[in-house]
Structure 1
Amino acid sequence: MGVAGCGKSTVGAALAESIGAEFLDGDSLHPQSNIDKMASGTPLNDDDRAPWLAEIGSRFAASDTGLVIACSALKRSYRDIIRSGDSSVVFVHLHGTKELLAERMNARPDHFMPASLLDSQLATLEVPHADEAALVVDIAEPVEKIVNDVKAALSGSAEAAAGRFQVDLKAAPFKLDDDAIAWVESTLGSMTLEEKIGQLFINHNNDYSPEYLDGVLENYHVGGMRYRPGPSGAVQEHIRYAQSKTKIPLLIASNPEMGGAGSCDDGTFVSTHLQAGSHPDKSIARQMGQVAGVETAALGCNWAFAPIVDIHYNWRNTVISTRAFGNTPEIVVERAKEYFDGISESRTVCAMKHFPGDGLDERDQHVVTSYNTFGYEEWNRTYGHVYREMIGHGVQSIMIGHIGAPELSKHFRPGLADKDILPATLAPELLQDLLRGELGFNGLILTDASQMIGLTQVMKRKDLVPATIAAGCDMFLFFRNPDEDFQYMLDGYKSGVITEERLHDALRRILALKASLGLHTSAREELVPPVGALELIGSEAHRAIAAEVADKTITLVKDTAGNLPITPETHKRIRLYGISGGSDFTRADPLAYLDTVKEELESAGFEVHVFKTAEQREAAGETGVNFMSVISEEATGDYADKYDAAFVFANVKGFAQEAAIRIKWSTPMAAEIPWYVTEVPTVFVSLNQPNHLIDVPMVKTAIHAHAGTREAIRATIQKIQGKSEFQGTFNENVFCDSFDTRL
């Protein structure tokens, strides 16, 4: 860089040849309008220069090899535009006297930059500041000496650049003392290459047998594990065996998004994230975190893949519709902090998710790459605000979504083509420039599950596995094929995709997270609690918390016809419909909850008549039945003579299998669709998704119960009868941007 006549092209070409890099003259990237303007003797203004500088920055970002570009870059603001394209750019300022510069310019009569503009350039020049990655050399020296001096200086600059986002083990969130740091460094120094590669992986344990665990630990040396939920006793013993056999203590992860449920089969379901955001009492989120911490710690877990800090802006998005605290950054920050504080009472660290933020795109990253399309400023006001607050609050790790952010990526890499936008898991501009740089996150970064199509659709597996670590992730979530993925990661290191500096920085963060938990000082037999600790899981005290939360959060969305209350005294005979959407990946009976509903209604004194679809009746052995015959039998003029009211309980899931989730009726024009709202008072209760009014706008009474637990179902039936008040709140997403859903 430098003013005209300083020798940028000559020195740049010589430097590129010396270090085996490509050379490009930045003047060749000027649009013709700029060239014409300069040739006429008119200086360029900043509006003229901006697209030219952005193009130069994008060339660095797009280059797979070393690259040297000659460009004037006279102002700090100009250099900022270039380095926003690639933060690793180093500027070499070619400095000379005005007399020498004029002499050289006069010797180039064919150049489009006239000597008369030298004064203008010198007046504009802002010498690189001390905080910039820049060198200053004297153009009076021979070209060979300049090149050698620059090469020597660049060697030091490369080392400095490599350390730009290196972990600070003493700083938040690790805050390690000298002894813990010594353990991190000595452990790192004692590891073989294969052990280093293995630490990058979090295994998904699909088998509880000792032989399986022996194979995972001996062959792949993993840094962490997440197990398949089962009975708490089996899970705890599984974790105990794993910790007893590993060379380096393991991070044991669970998914306690709803309390203890999901971490083991008998864990306590306290609430969903949405449920914890559906009442003025913010302590609900803390209670959820407290129960989650106690129950998962009793199993031997030390790492929670929670809280979820996505913002549910798009009602069509169903992957986080129940897994986000709400639709504003303020409610998300408030409740996420409460959850974090609650779970932190146990020896547990958190991985909040899913950076850079889900909830704008309606699609599910499990089945397709999704996108956060906010611009840089809007993202900072919303998702960025959430991440800054939570990082400042002490969160220890962040899970990266397979979510692209086109406007954010282009902000840091101007000129980046649409086709080159990558999910955040593979985007260094998002992981390093944004998350590490602007947000100042010093903790551990892990990928979301690597089997998700949001990641796998982007590039070949052999490339994407090491590319995630090279981009800035520290741990890789789940093998697809252990032998293959381990080798892909190892090959990525050996080929230079993962540098030595990047590998060791990731390992220090992994070991630091373990040391922050005290795993390095705990005896192996103390890493997992005794069997007696399992008594805490699903305890009466925790179930009482769940019942209290259910009572607070069950929400009356609308009752425009004044149907409530409905009691056995006023409406004895109930026609009960169950809607499930079919079984999901858990293979559990999707309508099992309906037995609980029937039991609770009968216990309250109602007479319950359960509707059966044609498929259900055929499965029970009935013949001669089809969907048309069922419609004819169900939709008769004497419907109101047979039933006093109709209750529809919907528990529609489909997580990770569909891009979006809507009600799917059993047949065309199904008999369970609420045609009967004109015949009898009808109450629709959702036990899961908040967006069902788009499919049943005709119902005049709609309740969101949030969960299919007995506690939630019982509390809902109490409120339908008017025996307790509805206390839950809701946001505008429930009306799905449709006028008829409010009627």
Structure 2
Amino acid sequence: MTTDEPVSSNAVPASRRIVVMGVSGCGKTTIGDLVARQLGVPFLDGDSLHPVENVAKMAAGTPLTDEDRWPWLATVGAELAAAGNRGLVLACSALRRSYRDAIRAQAPDTVFLHLHGSKDVLAARIEGRSGHFMPPALLESQLATLEPLQADEAGVVVDVAEPVDAVVTAALAGISAALAGGVAPPAPLAPPAPLAPPTGTVGTPLRQFDVDLKAAPFNLDDDAIVWIDSTIDAMTLEEKIGQLFINHNNDYSPEYLDGVLENYHVGGMRYRPGPSAAVQEHIRYAQSKTRVPLLIASNPEMGGAGSCDDGTFVCTHLQAGSHPDKSIARQMGQVAGVETAALGCNWAFAPIVDIHYNWRNTVISTRSFGNTPEIVVERAKEYFDGISESPTVCAIKHFPGDGIDERDQHVVTSYNTLGYEEWNRTYGHVYREMIGHGVQSIMIGHIGAPELSRHFRPGTADKEILPATLAPELLQDLLRGELGFNGLILTDASQMIGLTQAMKRKDLVPATIAAGCDMFLFFRNPAEDFQYMMEGYKTGVISEQRLQDALRRILALKASLGLHATAREELVPPVEALGVIGSEAHRAVAAEIADKTVTLVKDTANSLPITPETHKRIRLYGISAGPDFTRADPLAYLDTVKDELEKAGFEVHLFRTAEQREAAGEAGVNFMSIISEEATGDYAEKYDAAFVFANVKGFAQEAAIRIKWSSPMAAEIPWYVTEVPTVFVSLNQPNHLIDVPMVRTVIHAHAGSREAIRATIEKIQGKSGFQGTFNDNVFCDSFDTRL
């Protein structure tokens, strides 16, 4: 017999109750889970049944008294008794005879599997373990308490010094023998079966919460549940593991999709944006080739833009929060839903529910509705309601909440450092409201939360703080337990350094699922990551219970969309549906929102209005952060700005840097020569006003974003504010005043779209009024930015 094959029910009746006992560090959870898997019965960690008072005492290094233990032992016995004929393997220290008697009082036929080890072996294992509330100091106390199994107790003793596979084999043989009654002597260890020891475990969750398919957000009927369970039963192990993955499709060819679907059996995909017709055909082919319908995700954070190249840019999240009209967010969601559904998408990685508390945080500065939980909740609900008018489910992000740290989790682990009570008043409030509003899935950020982790795991050291994607206390105890989330949990992109700096790839891939995530976003190397996940299951990092629960949630999300009851050829709309993408009606929505949300942050010199009649000659400057991963020209927006200014009647003189002039063939230019040319005393004789349009980005490429001028003491830095009226317009980031406090007229246009640029130029001329609002983050906590 090997541990790769389930033990037949004739060898060990599934109706039996088995307690895996022993002191801390003996491997009760690992061995117990593997034994349960072989017997085909559920596994439960008895530690999850401790009341919080016991957990706090143990974490503080205080041994439990018998008065502490009796209620817990009664609960353990009740769980075993309630298992009935389905059977149960339960990990519980059960160190004294009296404790075991208390368990047997409710479940008389319980068999005890004692995992025995020397003090040295046990101490070494405890020292190497993280994320558990049992500190090494309590080992002495447990060893002193331990009373070995006696002759009249049904049980078996197994030495844990041997390899895991050998321990499991011996345990199964001993359990079978113990069923005849009495204590089986320490069992001779069988030759090791081909099963590797567990790796990459990240602590044990206090409790695992299995999905309720009939409850929100799934609300499934009996037929859907039958489809879920029968589909899982019919899957091979490879297909089950594949369902855990969401692929990032980097190729539109049929050969590429065939390879992904046939080799990795993925549960979902997010494609690389391109022309809408190509994207739709890509999705249609994928859905036609897979046995189980796919979740097709997109990032419609700004409307249809980002889901395909010709989608409508409606507005940013910040833009939707920068006007009293909350329906702007609903309109953004409506357009996003219509356009992405036309492509064949059914899963939106939106809305974003982070709170922009720290003005230095640039990764969500435009991707947050605002800097208070109230505005975030209000606008996120509106977006959700708007996109839900289309056949779409949402994944809100990024739990436990971005916006405290100034760094970007794409390039470094970031942290939400709020205390438990303050987090509950802010981010916790947002998540409770959105869960109550029916959100179906939650994306987990690679964001650590030290104080939250310590609330659930007192005594956790700094070095043991993990990003939420790997932290069962945040996923299970907090999100599933206290917040009551019954939906699907997925990781954020797995290539992000916020995750990958935590541990080796082979360990972190299965550890995310073990910790409580249901789906894993993006392969790094498909063959490697798939194998890492498979090995994580085979070695017990991912328990059978955890895998089954994840699969049921994944298929439940699909069933909630009706994918199980939709004909394969109808999963993707016909080509004619693409007519809504970038339509005149949607562009009109974008233009109306742009007009409402262009914001005058300050005009302390009373420079506005500026018109062609009063200030004909405009010196135009453009600021960008340089090329990014899109490889697009970072200053291309200046063509639109120049065009709109000239249409308005201005005479535009475009500033070019030394680098631009050299690229155009000029010789003998450098940054000093440009400064000398630009900063001459006749500046005000040549130009009537200066306009600076900034479109600074850097998403996922740097930990912080500030203006980077073209050269040292660059000629485009606003020295000219003392010479002519100067207007600074941001087309993206709201925090530029920290770098240009000398400018007295500052406008936030929110976007580099033609609609936003046109609306801004109209308002500069006084043709329409500024209606947008802003929060104090724009002043960057510095007095001079308000001058």
After TM superposition, the score normalised by the length of structure 2 is 0.78
Distance 1:55 1:571, change over 3 A: same
Aligned to 2:22, what secondary structure does the other structure show?
Answer: helix
Q: Which residue of 2 aligns with 1:582?
A: 626
Shift of the 78–357 alpha-carbon distance from structure 1 to 2, 3 Å rule, reads farther
How far off its partner does 1:479 sit? Answer: 0.3
Partner SS state of residue 707, structure 1:
coil
Where 1:144 maps in the other structure, the secondary structure is coil
Q: Structure 1 residue 734 and structure 2 residue 778: aligned?
A: yes
Q: Matches of 2:711 and 2:148 in 1, distance apart?
A: 84
2:649 is aligned, of 589, 605, 608, to: 605
Q: Is the 8 A contact 1:162 1:501 kept in 2?
A: no
Which residue number corresponds to residue 568 of structure 2? 524
Equivalent residue for 1:384? 428
| SS of corresponding position for 1:74 | helix
The within-5 A match list for 1:130-279 is 144=150, 148=154, 164-279=208-323
Deviation at 1:523, TM superposition (A): 0.6
**Pairing 1:706–2:699 present:** no
Q: Deviations over 1:374-423 (max 9, x none)?
A: 00000000000000000000000000000000000000000111100000
Aligned position for 1:72: 65
Deviation at 1:75, TM superposition (A): 5.4
Unaligned 5+ segments in structure 2 are 1-18, 30-51, 77-89, 100-144, 158-174, 180-204
**Which residue in the other structure is 1:62 paired with?**
none
Q: For residue 95 of structure 1, report the CA deviation from its aligned partner.
A: 11
Instruction: Please point out which of 386, 394, 409 is paired with 2:453.
Output: 409
Do residues 57 (structure 1) and 50 (structure 2) align? no
Matches within 5 A, 1:326-405: 326-405=370-449
Pair 1:695–1:339, CA change in 2 (3 A): same
Partner of residue 628, structure 1: 672
Residue correspondence of structure 1 range 477-626 to structure 2 within 5 A: 477-626=521-670
- The equivalences for 1:88-127 within 5 A come to none
| 1:237 counterpart SS class | helix
8 Å CA contact retained: 2:21, 2:92:
no
- CA-CA distance at 1:272 after TM superposition: 0.3
Runs of 4+ in 1 over 3 A off after TM superposition: 17-23, 50-55, 73-80, 88-97, 145-152, 161-164
Which residue number corresponds to residue 478 of structure 2?
434
1:307 maps onto 2:351 in alignment: yes
**C-alpha distance in structure 2 between counterparts of 1:244 and 1:391, whole Å:** 33
Measured in 2, the distance between the counterparts of 1:654 and 1:380 equals: 31
1:665-693, CA deviations, whole angstroms, 9 ceiling, x for partnerless residues? Answer: 00000000000000000000000000000
Instruction: Tell me the C-alpha RMSD between the 2 structures.
Output: 2.8
Q: Residues 132-177 of structure 1: CA distance to partner in whole angstroms, max 9, x if unpaired?
A: xxxxxxx9x996389659999xx9xxxxx99840000000000000
CA distance in 1, matches of 2:764, 2:388: 37
* Conservation of the 8 A alpha-carbon contact between 1:450 and 1:478: yes
* 2:22 corresponding residue in structure 1: 16
Moved more, 398-407 or 163-172: 163-172
Q: 1:565 to 1:145 in 2, by over 3 A?
A: farther
Give the SS at the match of 1:575: strand
Residues 640 and 192 (structure 1 numbering): CA distance in 2 closer, same or farther, change over 3 Å?
A: same
Q: Is the 8 A contact 1:58 1:413 kept in 2?
A: no
Structure 1 residue 16 displacement after superposition: 1.7
| Preserved CA contact (<8 Å) 1:169 1:181 | yes
- Contact persistence 1:57–1:413 (CA under 8 A): yes
Give the distance between the partners of 1:660 and 1:548, measured in 2 at CA.
32
Q: Distance in 2 between matches of 1:18 and 1:317?
A: 42
1:54, distance to aligned residue in structure 2 (A): 3.7
CA distance in 2, matches of 1:386, 1:89: 36
State how far apart, in whole Å, the 1-side matches of 2:553 and 2:751 are: 37
Q: Distance in 2 between matches of 1:556 and 1:587?
A: 31
TM-score when normalising by structure 1: 0.83
CA displacement, residues 202-240 of structure 1 (integer Å, 9 cap, x when unaligned): 000000000000000000000000000000000000000
Q: Give the secondary structure class of the aligned counterpart of 1:354.
A: strand
How many angstroms does 1:581 deviate by?
1.3
Q: 1:284 aligns with which of 317, 328, 332?
A: 328
Q: Equivalents in 1 of 2:321, 2:280: separation in Å?
A: 31
Change (3 A) 1:638 1:519: same
Count of aligned pairs between the two proteins: 641
Which amino acid is the alignment partner of residue 65 of structure 2?
S
Deviation at 1:18, TM superposition (A): 13
Cα deviation 1:34-83 (Å, max 9, x = unaligned): xxxxxxxxxxxxxxxx9996462378xxxxxxxxx962163599989xx9
Task: Identify which of 664, 682, 696 aligns with 1:638.
Answer: 682
Cα offsets for 1:271-309 (capped at 9, x unmatched): 000000000000000000000000000000000000000
Q: Is the 8 A contact 1:687 1:705 kept in 2?
A: yes
Is residue 735–residue 780 contact of structure 2 (8 Å, CA) maintained in 1? yes
SS of the residue aligned with 2:278? helix
Structure 1 residues 76 and 291, CA gap change in structure 2 (3 angstroms): farther
- Equivalent residues of 1:55, 1:414 under 8 A apart: no
Match of 1:135? none
User: How far, CA to CA, are the matches of 2:251 and 2:423 in structure 1?
Assistant: 41
